[in-house]
Structure 1
């Protein structure tokens, strides 16, 4: 079943059940009711960021809008560990909990935990969190997020660009996970996991 074909129906169903107009939901989401109408009628499919805005406005989970029923989400869909990892990293980054700092004074590149901002003292004495798996994709993700944050206003469709970054890294992590699953026991031992 292609759940994306039904997301518009699910949005309309939840909105109607709550007695909300398209205009009211669109206002909460920050876009026009024409756009919401296009989503509800299946003329456009909202991206993840937009779906999250709609879910928040309707006070339901993304799963409710995407699958029609939260109980179906993880039962009918194959696990997407890459997406879960990327979404976790994105949440921590967006809340200012983590920041990537390839500090040459440290013995290995690490994720820097900082609640104080980045300055020379923290670079020397900061707290570090070692990345045990998927180091390169995670470092690349955070570097791309930092660049995106600085240049967000220059993108024609920033939400779509952000979604592409997240999807790309999730796909890369999923490939690494699959490659690891396909390794022999000996190779896994040599790989160190």
Structure 2
């Protein structure tokens, strides 16, 4: 069962859309009525894993860099969100090829080049533990690699609202630098959890 949001033609912000408790109960009851007696059925909402592109772009001369960056941001958000993504991303078991995404961006007729390209992948669990991976990662943990896969089988991809896109008049080849906590924005990719003392 899929509950896709309205995307419309205006400004669209990627959001996690969840089923309410009553709908989940009805789904569970339906499945339990049709499953073998030994099966244990649980109906839950999917987890959503956030994806953010970081890149430097060069646009055609005499174009408004700000307007073009907003256009690229919107296209990336649609490409990375389960509701509007290509088939490889619009399902459980999704997979994102970062190089293919970079080529997709470079193929826009108004983009002259892309450099310093990487994709951040934020996943979390029910205990509030988060993992942040970057395709530019090349430290002791090893490279994240060009393919991004979900941390859990029941996770779906969801774009952040704003991607970290910089513009430059000319593109010079530049290797991406792994992102750290200082380059994240609170509430989107940077999660602050409050602890209470007993």
Shared fold by TM > 0.5? no
Which one has a bigger Cα radius of gyration?
1
| Higher RCO (Cα < 8 Å, 6 or more apart) | 2
TM-score (norm 2): 0.24
TM-score (norm 1): 0.24
